A and B are shown apart, each in its own frame.
Chain A
Amino acid sequence: DEDLQTKDEL
Chain B
Amino acid sequence: MNIFRLAGDVCHLVAIIILLLKIWRSRSCAGISGKSQVLFAIVFTTRYLDLFTVFISPYNTIMKVVFLALSYATVYLIYMRFRNTFNSENDSFRLEFLLVPVIGLSFLENYAFTPLEILWTFSIFLESVAIMPQLFMITKTGEAESITTHYLFFLGLYRALYIANWVWRYHTEGFFDQIAVVSGVVQTIFYIDFFYLYVTKVLRGRGKMTLP
Chain A: residues with CB nearer than 8 A to chain B?
1, 3-10
Contact = CB atoms under 8 A, between A and B. Distances in A.
B60 A8 contact: yes
Contacts, number: 29
B117 A10 contact: no
Contacts of B60: 8, 10
Interface of B: 5, 9, 12, 50, 54, 56-57, 60, 63-64, 67, 111-112, 114, 117, 120, 162, 165, 175, 177, 180
Interface on chain B toward A: helix, strand, loop, or mixed SS? Answer: helix
B180 A9 contact: yes
Interface on chain A toward B: helix, strand, loop, or mixed SS? Answer: loop
Nearest to B66: A10
B54 A6 contact: yes
B56 A10 contact: no
